[in-house]
């Protein structure tokens, strides 16, 4: 009987034994062995998105300070696993830096936040009416409702769990997505008011979402604000005093008149400015994408690189193979115009050839580089290094899509919360309860 000898690793590995002449049963073919490691320290990840919680704290402190000057509380949005940064980790950092609320889209996201031990006020707003709302109600998750059918499903969950549901009534003030239309608003409010009168519900807030907040002076902002004000006053006339919330990241930073009772910054909490370029922003980007070099090679002049040979060396060149590609969130189109850049040490170097599923190639020029060195694909922008905003501009998209798109084999490493923690491949706060009346009467369609 012979066995193959594995290279040293830290964990137990499976070794397959094969008899030279006789086929053996499967359970006799596999055995576990422990092989000593050459080093007590594990190698750095091949590819990682490094999340800086100190940057998150800086950003949330800045945003909540802006809101506080308007008399508004702050809800930090941690949907999509904290925009790819880690919902629980970001949530705790945000709640310790001035935020009083957290917000998510789905019920599953709300459950994950609660499972992480976070008990702060938490709003979930994107549901299908036939979902199971019982766990969310039982976990004291505030729920947004946009239709009478939606509300009925949420109230039924409250009856089953024996808890009054906390409602945020959403009005469609012009975005055309979720929220009740003006013609539907009175019926939704009637049902919510009846549920509140019977003790089945609490009307916590009336809210909406801006369509063009990244254009601060666009008249749409004022039209939507006026429409929300009318919707809110309709609820007030029924004897309730709900909060109002409308401002997203851009409006939090540029429109204090729209702060109302509660602001909902999302992307800005992660250091990505919804309006300004990174160099002009007071925010600090929290995510850096780093990959270690897999191979360095010399190629002669006239050597093609990657599929289609869209780049060919004009002189002898030093190339570095970077093991991350479009399966990991590096878009295939990113280098179509040949402008993708990376940072090696203190030097910016170009990516050459097409982005592949698993890898890209960098022309190192005269920069000394060896296998195992770290290359920064995007980050804070310090030293003219690439940023998520640069990727987005090149692709004709927004940086939200870049950071939420890190996937596949990218490991998330969280720093600034004790020892760095690896989250695999990709504190408590107090809420305000019901709000106090404020604002003005608008002239919208409501």
Domain hosting 310: range is 287-425
| Angstrom distance (rounded) from CA 78 to CA 182 | 29
80 lies in a domain?
A: yes
The verdict on 252 and 393 lying in the same domain is no
| Angstrom distance (rounded) from CA 125 to CA 142 | 8
125 lies in a domain?
A: yes
According to the model, what pLDDT value does residue 408 have? 86
Confidence of residue 42 (pLDDT cuts 50, 70, 90): confident
| Angstrom distance (rounded) from CA 77 to CA 74 | 10
The verdict on 209 and 293 lying in the same domain is no
Q: Exposed (0-12), middle (13-18) or buried (19+): which is 110, by Cβ within 10 Å?
A: buried
Residue 9 has pLDDT above 60, yes or no: no
Residue 150 has pLDDT above 80, yes or no: yes
Q: Select which of 12, 270, 297, 307 is catalytic.
A: 307
| Residue bearing the bigger pLDDT, 14 or 363 | 363
Widest distance between CA atoms in the chain: 89
351 lies in a domain?
A: yes
Confidence of residue 28 (pLDDT cuts 50, 70, 90): very low
Q: How many domains does the chain have?
A: 3
Q: Select which of 12, 79, 170, 270 is catalytic.
A: 79
Residue 36 has pLDDT above 50, yes or no: no
Q: Where are the alpha helices (DSSP H) in 139-248?
A: 148-161, 182-197, 219-236
The verdict on 120 and 247 lying in the same domain is yes
41 lies in a domain?
A: no
20 lies in a domain?
A: yes
Size of the chain in residues: 446
Helix (H, G, I), strand (E, B) or coil at 195: helix
| Angstrom distance (rounded) from CA 206 to CA 196 | 14
Q: Which of 31-45, 256-270, 395-409, 422-436 is predicted with the least confidence, judged by mean pLDDT? A: 422-436
Does residue 213 contact residue 239 with C-beta atoms inside 8 Å? no
The verdict on 144 and 241 lying in the same domain is yes
| Angstrom distance (rounded) from CA 80 to CA 105 | 8
| Angstrom distance (rounded) from CA 438 to CA 435 | 9
Alpha-carbon Rg for the chain in angstroms: 26
The verdict on 135 and 246 lying in the same domain is yes
Domain stops at, among 272, 304, 321: 272
The verdict on 64 and 178 lying in the same domain is yes
310: domain CATH number is: 2.40.37.10
Helix (H, G, I), strand (E, B) or coil at 187: helix
| Angstrom distance (rounded) from CA 273 to CA 283 | 7
H-helix or E-strand spanning residue 115: helix 107-115
Instruction: Give ∠ CA 173-179-180 in degrees, rounded to 5.
Output: 85
Based on the residue annotation, tell me whether 307 is a catalytic residue of this protein. Answer: yes
Provide the token pair at 94.
């945000």
Residue 437 has pLDDT above 60, yes or no: no
Based on the residue annotation, tell me whether 170 is a catalytic residue of this protein. Answer: no
What is the secondary structure of 282-342 as a DSSP string? S----EEEEEE--EEEEE-TT-EESGGG-EE-SS-EEEEEE---GGGT--GGGGTTS--EE
Q: Which of 173-182, 268-277, 424-433 is predicted with the least confidence, judged by mean pLDDT? A: 424-433
* pLDDT tens digit sequence for 387-420: 999 999 999 999 999 999 999 899 999 999 765 5
68 to 47, 91, 100, 123, 357: CA distances (angstroms): 39, 19, 11, 20, 46
345 lies in a domain?
A: yes
Confidence of residue 40 (pLDDT cuts 50, 70, 90): low
* pLDDT tens digit sequence for 210-240: 999 999 999 999 999 999 999 999 999 999 9
The verdict on 360 and 335 lying in the same domain is yes
> Quick one: how many helices (H) and strands (E) in the chain?
12, 23
Domain stops at, among 249, 272, 295: 272
Residue 77 has pLDDT above 90, yes or no: yes
The verdict on 67 and 20 lying in the same domain is no
Does residue 131 contact residue 105 with C-beta atoms inside 8 Å? no
The verdict on 188 and 311 lying in the same domain is no
Rounded to the nearest angstrom, the gap between the alpha carbon of residue 425 and the centroid of all alpha carbons in its chain is 14
The verdict on 108 and 229 lying in the same domain is yes
According to the model, what pLDDT value does residue 419 have? 59
| Angstrom distance (rounded) from CA 317 to CA 145 | 60
260 lies in a domain?
A: yes
Provide the token pair at 225.
């604000």
The verdict on 174 and 235 lying in the same domain is yes
Q: Which of 7-11, 140-144, 262-266 is predicted with the least confidence, judged by mean pLDDT? A: 7-11
According to the model, what pLDDT value does residue 275 have? 94
* Region 173-200 average pLDDT: 98
Domain stops at, among 272, 298, 316: 272
81: domain CATH number is: 3.20.20.10
* Positive or negative torsion for Cα 269, 273, 275, 281: positive
The verdict on 115 and 260 lying in the same domain is yes
17 lies in a domain?
A: yes
């Amino acid at each position: 009987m012979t066995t193959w000898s594995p290279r040293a690793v830290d964990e137990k590995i499976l070794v397959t034994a094969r008899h030279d002449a006789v086929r053996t049963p499967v359970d006799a073919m596999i055995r576990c062995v422990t092989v000593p490691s050459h080093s007590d320290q594990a190698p750095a990840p091949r590819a990682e998105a490094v999340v800086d919680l100190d940057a998150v704290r800086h950003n949330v402190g800045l945003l909540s300070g802006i809101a506080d000057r308007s008399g508004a509380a702050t809800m930090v949005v941690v949907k999509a696993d904290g925009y790819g940064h880690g919902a629980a980790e970001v949530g705790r950092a945000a709640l310790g830096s001035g935020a009083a609320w957290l917000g998510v889209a789905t019920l599953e996201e709300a459950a994950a936040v609660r499972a992480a031990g976070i008990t702060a006020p938490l709003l979930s707003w994107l549901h299908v009416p036939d979902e199971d709302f019982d766990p969310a109600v039982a976990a004291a998750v505030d729920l947004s409702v946009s239709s009478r059918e939606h509300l009925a499903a949420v109230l039924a969950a409250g009856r089953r769990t024996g808890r009054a549901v906390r409602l945020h009534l959403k009005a469609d003030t012009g975005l055309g997505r979720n929220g009740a239309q003006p013609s539907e608003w009175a019926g939704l409010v009637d049902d919510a008011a009846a549920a509140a009168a019977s003790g089945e519900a609490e009307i916590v807030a009336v809210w909406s979402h801006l369509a063009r907040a990244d254009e601060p002076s666009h008249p749409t902002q004022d039209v939507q604000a006026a429409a929300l004000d009318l919707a809110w006053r309709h609820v007030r006339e029924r004897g309730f005093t709900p909060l109002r919330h409308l401002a997203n990241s851009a409006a939090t930073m540029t429109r204090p008149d729209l702060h109302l009772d509660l602001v909902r910054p999302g992307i800005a909490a992660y250091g990505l400015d919804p309006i300004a370029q990174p160099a002009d922003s007071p925010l600090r980007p929290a995510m850096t994408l780093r990959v270690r070099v897999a191979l360095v090679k010399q190629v002669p002049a006239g050597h093609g690189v990657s599929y289609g040979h869209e780049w060919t060396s004009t002189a002898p060149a030093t190339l570095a193979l970077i093991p991350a590609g479009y399966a990991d969130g590096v878009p295939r189109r990113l280098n179509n115009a040949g402008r993708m850049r990376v940072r090696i040490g203190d030097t910016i170097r170009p990516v050459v050839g097409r982005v592949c599923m698993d890898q890209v190639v960098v022309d190192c020029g005269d920069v000394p580089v060896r296998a195992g060195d770290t290359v920064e694909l995007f980050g804070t922008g310090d030293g003219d290094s690439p940023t998520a905003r640069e990727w987005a501009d090149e692709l004709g998209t927004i940086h939200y899509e870049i950071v939420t798109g890190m996937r596949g084999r990218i490991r998330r490493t969280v720093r600034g919360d004790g020892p760095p923690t690896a989250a695999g491949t990709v504190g408590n706060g107090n809420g305000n309860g019901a709000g106090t009346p404020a604002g003005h009467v608008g002239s919208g369609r409501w």
